Chain A
Amino acid sequence: MRHPFYLVYCLALLGATTLAEYRGWSLTSVNEMKDVPKSVRDNPGAYRAHYMFYPRHIGGK
């Protein structure tokens, strides 16, 4: 190929797609919290995620 740039670009895309699929990446994201207290299992109501206070959409036409 005269210009191998596109070939390299294609290989990079294929590699990135394989890695994304293999590692289970997603376009959506979730919050990752570290050191969640073990007491959550005994007292689930004590756990609060930061997004829980966002306004809720109430649907309907």
Chain B
Amino acid sequence: MSTAPPPQVKSLSCPNCGAPVVIRGFATTLSVVCGNCHSILDAKDPNLAVLQQFQAAERIQPLIPLGTRGKIRGDPYEAIGFQVRTITADGVDYSWAEYLLFNPYKGFRYLTEYHGHWNDVTMLRTLPEVGTSGSRPVAKALGQTYRHFQTADARTTFVLGEFPWQVRVGETVRVMDFVAPPRMLSSETTGSETTWSLGEYIDGRQVWQMFQLPGSPPRPVGVYENQPSPFGANLKEVWMVCLFFLAALLALLLFFNVFASKDRVFSGSYFFSPRAGQEASFVTDVFELKGRTSNVEFSTRTDLNNNWAYFNYALINTDTNQAFDFGREVSYYFGSDSDGSWTEGGQNDTAMVPSVPSGHYYLRVEPEMDANAAGVTYSISLRRDVPTWSYFLIAALLLLVPPIFLTFRSTGFEQARWRESDYPPAVSSGSSGDDD
């Protein structure tokens, strides 16, 4: 069984400066750039005729040195060409680098890099279907819809290595980008010819791993057009979990409302007059609190009118001599003035005593009023094991905090992405200054 001989590179000399020129792409190479004098040479000419000479404003060193081999998706590739392309928007130049990778059996693919953001790019063999969605162009390819991101004129500003086309510095193409993170479709139009490519965002660390490059890749700056959102994929899951637990919380609330005993364990009606001059405090008969340790709801109802009363309560356990004591003020005022009628406070009050163990209890009650007050008729009732809303409400709010926070982060990420596009998100203006 015969095996294909290993490919050999072809070494020539630059006719302009005499520096060695290496051709790694064999018959596919149409132009090659001298790494010394930056002459673009015709690789098909046996004498390597000079096609163009350009003066690079700066000598750009590719992050992946030409000739470096690496494995992409299991296939070995060699970096053979490097070009920098630039678009100008609002007078500002934005440049990105493109690495041409070659495998003699698989062909070409590209790695692009912009401010630490990398894309693995292959030429598209099927023509995408371009249409509109709303007012925005979309492109459909390989069963996926891509939203138009931007259209710009990109010019080649630096080249190095070899290329399967007649590369020229200063060459301009019309570039249209469509995104569906982590992929993007790009079209390049020169004259009547349009080529399409499909890019997929990859982490710079992956590139370093694939090419066994020393050091670490440059840190990505900002958000790139097809960079997958670190929040997007997780956001839906988090909201689903949140909704599930909100439903569980609601079910729990209903369960406690249905199954809480809510037993009335004591009730009594009384009259208090501070003018009587008698001892105000008194104790009730002993009553029993049954069941597990649970809360006790105190309800106080009065007939106060434009007056106040203060009730000192002590719930005392006759078995353990433990007391739960607290005070409640009840005040109710009403009247009318130039603004109309008004009221303040209420005649009734409810308080919750938490975690009261079962046992035999009595109440010590001591009402207080203004010394000149006529008096108050009031009733006290106690209920055992009463469901409350407060913890459910707090839990629901706490459940919502992470998904809302993630949503804000995700929205911020998407806004940062589209800010660089032809469709920047509307920015609310600050002070208009109309008041000046």
Contacts and interface: CB of A to CB of B under 8 A. Distances in A.
A3 B234 CA distance: 8
Nearest to A34: B322
A24 B395 contact: no
Given A37-B321, A61-B333, 15 more contacts: A6-B241, A7-B241, A22-B294, A23-B293, A33-B314, A33-B322, A33-B324, A40-B283, A57-B329, A58-B308, A58-B370, A59-B308, A59-B344, A61-B335, A61-B337
B344 A18 contact: no
Given A25-B391, A41-B283, A49 B333 contact: no
B252 A21 contact: yes
28 contacts: A6-B241, A10-B245, A14-B248, A20-B391, A23-B355, A24-B296, A26-B352, A26-B354, A28-B351, A31-B324, A32-B322, A32-B324, A33-B314, A33-B323, A35-B321, A36-B322, A37-B321, A38-B321, A40-B316, A40-B364, A44-B283, A49-B325, A56-B308, A56-B368, A58-B331, A59-B331, A59-B344, A60-B344
Nearest to A2: B234
B256 interface: yes
A41 B321 contact: no
A53 B223 CA distance: 63
Nearest to A42: B283
A6 B238 contact: yes
B282 interface: yes
Interface in B190-245: 233-234, 237-238, 241-242, 245
A48 to B, nearest CB: 9
Nearest to B343: A61
Interface in B302-356: 306, 308, 310, 312, 314, 316, 318, 321-327, 329, 331-333, 335, 337, 342, 344-345, 351-356
Contacts of B282: 44
Interface stretch (B77-85, B120-128, B382-390, B422-430): B382-390
Interface string B256-267: 100000000000
Contacts of B245: 10, 13-14
B366 interface: yes
Given A35-B321, A56-B368, A59-B345, A13 B308 contact: no
Contacts of A32: 322-324
Interface residues of B, number: 66
A45 B278 CA distance: 11
Contact of A33 (B312, B325, B352, B355): B325
A21 B256 contact: yes
Given A2-B234, A25-B355, A26-B388, A57 B331 contact: yes
Most chain-A CB neighbours within 10 Å: which of B296, B323, B326, B394?
A: B323
A35 B327 CA distance: 20
Interface in A1-20: 1-3, 6-7, 9-10, 13-14, 16-18, 20
Nearest to B334: A61
Contact of B388 (A1, A14, A21): A21
B321 A13 contact: no
B398 to A, nearest CB: 6
Contacts of A58: 308, 331, 370
B166 interface: no
Contacts of B395: 13-14, 16-17
A40 B351 CA distance: 23
A58 B362 CA distance: 29
B22 to A, nearest CB: 46
Contacts of A38: 321
Nearest to A56: B310
A18 B308 CA distance: 37
A44 B366 contact: yes
B327 A49 contact: yes
